[in-house]
Structures are given as C-alpha cells and as structure tokens.
Amino acid sequence: MEVTGKIIVALPEVSGVSKAGNAWKKRSYVLETLDNYPTKIAFDFMGERADQYPLSVGEEVKLSFDIDSHEYNGRWFTSIRGWKAEKAQGAAAPAPAAAPATDPFAAAQAPSTFTPSADPNDDLPF
C-alpha cells in the first residue's frame, strides 16, 4: 500500500534486545495526508530501515507500507510498518503563478473590470 503526505512528528529511536538475544530498533513517525480532509497515520520503520530512511518533520514523502494485526492475550493490535519512503513527486515544485487559460474558473479568479455608471441615479452594478 502507498500513501503520500507530510511528516508532522518524528519520535526518537527506540531499541532493545529480544528474549532470544537479538538486538532490535524502531523509529516512529506520524504522517498527515494531503487530502481535502487530512488523516494522521502513525507508522514505524524497524531494524535497518530505521537508518535507511531517516525522515524529518515537514518533509513530504510517498510511504510504502504494510498493515499487520496480531493477537496478544485475547486483544488485537494493528501496526503500520513502513518498508520504503521516497520524496513525494512535485514536493519541490513551485506553485503555479496564474491559472491556465483553459481553466473553467479562470474568469471567476480574474480581477474585476467593473466601472461605475456616470448616471448618479443608476445604483445597479449591471
């Protein structure tokens, strides 16, 4: 699965040793989507991916991830594990300066060309 958004939180790295004696580390982030109604998504990078994809707050990225659920003591937990992050396409592109001529809303965005009438009794703008 993939989602594009802006990193709004970068939590510090957490590490430890498993019961089997294996070292592990995890780095967690929160991404906010760029949709009309933004959604916040907390996700992790585990192991070597934590160092492979260091992300910064404010950075726009396209995140590839897997969703995994597991049961523990009769309760279910869901995690979002990132496996790839790349800079979002067009993240560094400047915003367009003006609406293109083919834009159907260009007339609504154009400055007004209204000029008042010379007749003092005419108070209608059309």
Domains and CATH numbers, the chain: 2-89 (2.40.50.140)
For 46-66, write each residue's pLDDT tens digit: 999 999 999 999 999 999 999
Number of neighbours of residue 110 by Cβ within 10 angstroms: 10
**Overall pTM > 0.85:** no
Q: What is the reported pLDDT for 96?
A: 44
pLDDT at 103 over 60: no
The β-bridge relationship of strands 23-33 and 2-10 is: antiparallel
DSSP 96: P
Q: What is the reported pLDDT for 93?
A: 45
Q: Which residues contact 27 (CB under 8 A, 6 or more apart)?
A: 10, 11, 12, 13, 14, 44, 45, 50, 54
Instruction: Quickly state the pLDDT bin for 94 (edges 50, 70, 90).
Output: very low
Q: Which residues pair with 72 in a beta bridge?
A: 75
